[in-house]
Amino acid sequence: MKACQLELTWDTTNRPLSPAGEVDDLLRYETCFWKAGQAHIAGVDEVGVGPLAGPVVSAAVVLPPWTHIDGVNDSKLLNAETRERLSVEIRKVATGVGIGIAAVEEIDELNVYHAALLAMKRAVEALPHSPQHLLVDARAIRGTGIPQTSLTKGDRRSLSIASASIIAKTHRDDLMIKLARQYPEYGFAQHKGYPTREHQQAIQRFGPSPVHRRSFAFIEELTGEFSELFYSLRKAVSTASSQAALFQTLNRYQSSRALLSAPERRKLTLLFRRRERKLGNR
């Protein structure tokens, strides 16, 4: 293993590396490995951690050495039409594409963070050939037996990871559109399971579906499963018109904190902070 590879293996910061020669900025990591004779480098990314419904989906993508695809970037920065077009282009040139999925039941059982790691591992295992190194967006995938580099904001720093983010996003969007036909009242085709106002209202009206993540505290909050005390404090926080009024509500919260569940306390703490910032900016 050459020096640049050792350096990359431990790089989890935004510190840029400078392999010899001019290279595409999104290819600086891949180029280092390619020059060292390692042709099979897989970028891995996941999507779907934040939604209230649907699976987490991961993709692993291996690009041929010296590949360049115009327009590839973090999937969150691209519109749906561009993602679809680039997804087709990536699949045409890639030497390997793997998809990994963690179902809602696994999210509820493992928690969404570990379910995402499971989906990433499955994506790597779904590749037609085992890669020589993994470039992973901000995580470390256990149990692959493959050397890997975790890159903070990797979907904006590596062409392979950015390509994986596009493949994962388009695949998950397709799954959510299919779920929309099965559960039309929730509007999955529009928001893909993310907590938009329309989605929240649908959950309140119809209750959670079988593909909603029941382990998410926000689902409990939306369906009225939190305590009456929580909703009373939430209303007091949201309507506080001054720092003094907010402080009174905070005192009430502190005196009754033991009566609230851990998810209720976490949510109220977040609401207090948001309201304090808003009142402070007036």
> Token digits for 248?
């009174």
Into how many domains does the chain fold?
2
**Taking 60 as the threshold, does the pLDDT of residue 14 lie above it?**
no
Residue 135 counted as domain residue: yes
Q: What is the DSSP letter of 63?
A: P
Q: Which domain holds residue 120?
A: 3-178
Distance, CA of 267 to CA of 176 (rounded, Å): 27
pLDDT higher at 16 or 34: 34
Considering the domain architecture, whether residues 256 and 159 belong to the same structural domain is answered as no
pTM of the predicted structure, to 2 decimals: 0.85
| 43-90 pLDDT, tens digit each | 999 999 999 999 999 999 999 999 989 999 989 999 999 999 999 999
pLDDT higher at 6 or 100: 100
Q: What is the DSSP letter of 115?
A: H
**Taking 80 as the threshold, does the pLDDT of residue 173 lie above it?**
yes
Considering the domain architecture, whether residues 165 and 232 belong to the same structural domain is answered as no
CA separation, residue 180 to residues 159, 193, 236 (Å): 31, 10, 36
Question: Which pLDDT does position 47 carry in this prediction?
Answer: 98
Distance, CA of 19 to CA of 32 (rounded, Å): 6
Considering the domain architecture, whether residues 121 and 7 belong to the same structural domain is answered as yes
Residue 263 counted as domain residue: yes
Cβ atoms of 21 and 33 within 8 Å: the answer is: no
Question: Which pLDDT does position 25 carry in this prediction?
Answer: 85
Considering the domain architecture, whether residues 28 and 154 belong to the same structural domain is answered as yes
Residue 110 counted as domain residue: yes
Sign of CA dihedral 109, 112, 114, 117: positive
> Token digits for 177?
């559109």
> Residue 196 is which amino acid?
T
> Residue 256 is which amino acid?
S
| 114-134 pLDDT, tens digit each | 999 999 999 999 999 999 999
pLDDT tier, 18 (very low <50, low <70, confident <90, very high otherwise) = very low
Considering the domain architecture, whether residues 234 and 162 belong to the same structural domain is answered as no
Question: Which CATH number covers residue 151?
Answer: 3.30.420.10
Sign of CA dihedral 161, 124, 114, 135: negative
Residue 200 counted as domain residue: no
| 122-172 pLDDT, tens digit each | 999 999 999 999 999 999 999 999 999 999 999 999 999 999 999 999 999
Cβ atoms of 95 and 142 within 8 Å: the answer is: no
